[in-house]
């Protein structure tokens, strides 16, 4: 269920979550650097129109694991990350440009990205701010550009999980939010592959910015 947060509480969702990642940056990198998200990377790249190389924003790039993959595949990859510690790690590991921006205070240029890769990041945006953030991502995409998102799914609850704030949407609600921001659905799927639905906690989806 959506909750109404004050400006102070909104700021705390961001600062608290980022403080957690900053304090646990080394262990987070150790625990996630070998995660295989090639299915998600391939899904985005296969949905892009035109000829590569593509300009891709890794939204919430963390220490730079996927950012480096995009670069090594020959694309122009730019990272965006709210944790100052992750920004430094991602720049060093990937060799890519990484923007230090809070998800709730984005400053994105208009219509420059072919694709946006939001892997395990958008669920940290409180539900009352998510429509605005999605519209900002929409504006940063070129026409026919693609947004990929993967989030832990739930029954539309949100709140604190230890030191991190998260929102856990089901498919109908996520579909409603993205359509409301102007996106057109390409497809969606659940992860990990090959397991019963109750053992697939991740909801992945791809969305296109249509021509007006």
Tell me the pLDDT tens digit for each residue of 175-201. Answer: 999 999 999 999 999 999 999 999 999
Supply the pLDDT for residue 1.
Answer: 52
Alpha-carbon gap, residue 18 to 38, rounded angstroms = 26
Alpha-carbon gap, residue 162 to 150, rounded angstroms = 21
Model confidence, pTM:
0.97
Tokens of 110: 């208009």
Residues 6+ apart with CB under 8 A from 143: 111, 209, 210, 211, 212
DSSP character string of 41-101 = HHHHHHH--SSSP-EEEEET-TTSHHHHHHHHTT-EEEEEES-HHHHHHHHHHH-SEEEE-
Other CB atoms closer than 10 Å to residue 19's CB: what's the count?
A: 14
Other CB atoms closer than 10 Å to residue 9's CB: what's the count?
A: 12
In this structure, are residues 204 and 179 in contact, taking their beta carbons and an 8 Å threshold?
no
* Three-state DSSP class for residue 207: strand
Q: What is the dihedral of CA 173, 159, 18, 30, to 10 degrees?
A: -80
Structural element, H or E, at residue 134:
helix 130-140
Supply the pLDDT for residue 212.
Answer: 76
Alpha-carbon gap, residue 44 to 131, rounded angstroms = 22
Q: What are φ and ψ of residue 174, in 5° steps?
A: -65, -40
Strand intervals (E) in the chain:
55-59, 76-81, 97-100, 113-119, 141-152, 157-161, 164-168, 184-191, 202-208
Low-confidence stretches of the chain (pLDDT beneath 70): 1-2
pLDDT tens-digit series, residues 57-72: 999 999 999 999 999 9
Alpha-carbon gap, residue 85 to 100, rounded angstroms = 10
Domain ranges of the chain: 7-208
Supply the pLDDT for residue 3.
Answer: 75
Q: 7-208, superfamily in CATH?
A: Vaccinia Virus protein VP39 (3.40.50.150)
């Amino acid at each position: 269920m959506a909750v109404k947060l004050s400006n102070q509480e909104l700021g705390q969702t961001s600062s608290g979550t980022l403080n957690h990642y900053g304090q646990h940056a080394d262990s987070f990198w150790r625990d996630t650097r070998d995660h295989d998200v090639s299915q998600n990377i391939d899904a985005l790249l296969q949905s892009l129109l035109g000829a590569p190389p593509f300009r891709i924003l890794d939204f919430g790039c963390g220490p730079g694991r996927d950012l480096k993959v995009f670069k090594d595949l020959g694309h122009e990859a730019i990272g965006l990350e709210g944790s100052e510690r992750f920004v430094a790690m991602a720049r060093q590991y990937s060799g890519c440009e990484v923007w230090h921006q809070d998800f709730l205070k984005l400053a994105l240029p208009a219509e420059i990205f072919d694709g946006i890769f939001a892997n395990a990041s958008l669920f940290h945006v409180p539900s009352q701010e998510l429509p605005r953030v999605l519209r900002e991502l929409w504006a940063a995409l070129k026409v026919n550009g693609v947004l990929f998102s993967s989030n832990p799914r739930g029954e539309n609850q949100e709140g604190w999980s230890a030191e991190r704030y998260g929102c856990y949407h089901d498919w109908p609600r996520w579909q409603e939010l993205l359509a409301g921001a102007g996106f057109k659905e390409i497809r969606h799927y659940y992860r990990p592959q090959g397991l019963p639905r109750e053992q697939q906690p991740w909801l992945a989806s791809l969305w296109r910015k249509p021509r007006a």
